[in-house]
Structure 1
Amino acid sequence: MKKIAIILSGCGVYDGAEIHESVLTMLHIEQFGASYECFAPNIQQYHVINHLTGEEHAQQRNVLEEAARIARGDIKDLSSLNVSNFDALVIPGGFGVAKNLSSFAFEGAQSTILESLKQCCQSFAQQHKPIAYLCIAPALIGHIHPQGTLATIGNDEETATATEQLGAKHVTCGVDDVVVDEQQKVISTPAYMLAGSITQASSGIQKALKALFDIL
């Protein structure tokens, strides 16, 4: 049975991992006959957002502890991820990717990326194992993969431009479609960058995971 690593960035679309995308990733991995294990960095998240009002809370939360909510407690510190134990990697979206795993939400083309995440993703790439980036997560591609690696982040021009300035080659893509860089084994799909419903998000994520398993 194939085993897939999932890296989460907290819990909640505005300050962590997008919950629908994360759960759909788990569901479709199992439906394709594989298993998964979840990881998250043991760091403080950038800030805390009240998802009812959109207001920022004056408190601190831990990315690993928050991500454990989605994983039902079955999650490990990113530092313990052994790439040799997995066949592929998936990174769901949510603003946690752009706030906790990187600074893309604030610095765009001048953003930095969490070093432990970069090393992990590059280890998957060096072992020729595919990685699927969902929603805003393709903003990480330029930090991790060679110049010109194909990626999609939906159709927002400003976001796409920043992604290209970081080194990826952006391809405009529909919500139910994917972009595959076969040479680099990198898959991306817009998910909630474009999706207006959970059904639309599911269609693209399912297609991205099918592409991932087709590469294996």
Structure 2
Amino acid sequence: MLFFEPDTERALAAVPYAAGHGTEEERLGAGSIYYVITCMARARVCVCLGSGGGFVPCLMRQAQMDLGIDMAETFLVDAVLPEAGYGGPEVAMGWIHEGSLLRQQFGDIVILSCLTGQAATGFFAKNATAIDYLHIDADHSFNAALADFETYLPLLKPSAFVTMHDTVTESIQNVLSTILLKYPKFQCIDLPDVGAGLAILRCKVLPSNFAGTDS
């Protein structure tokens, strides 16, 4: 099943660092997951921490547009610190360039050029933002990645989805273990063979009509 026209899929798959999300020419890899999660959550507010070339926020925004969600917004938070060495938008065709896919086709994505913690306690907190879908892919050190999760936790809706990239790394694996230990209400599925690894986190949510079972 194709979500987009082949030319659009090729353009998305060609975004810098998209291969880390398991893309192959006309195959979107984890991009399909980002798109579907946005659709399942009917996410009015999507937030992407860290950007690479802009692959993830483009998929989030495309899903919002396809669903026609009123007042929907996708936010990209990136301080653009190439010295950090995590792969930033300054490379050729990265989103920072006017000719990039993000600038040309998804120009309404809101870009916050600051550290992730500053965006959380500043812009998002001051605007009482309630996040439907959060993607964490900024500083991959244990302390920083865990801080991103915990800093944004109060901003998440009870039914929000969280994805975390690069789960093949030891630091992110340790973050996931810590989250599940400290926050047992969260469930996690880790897909280490999808690109550089992707985890999906969500609080346990029961249907409103759930009555339980005696068995």
TM-score (norm 1): 0.42
Q: TM-score by structure 2 length?
A: 0.43
Rg larger in 1 or in 2? 2
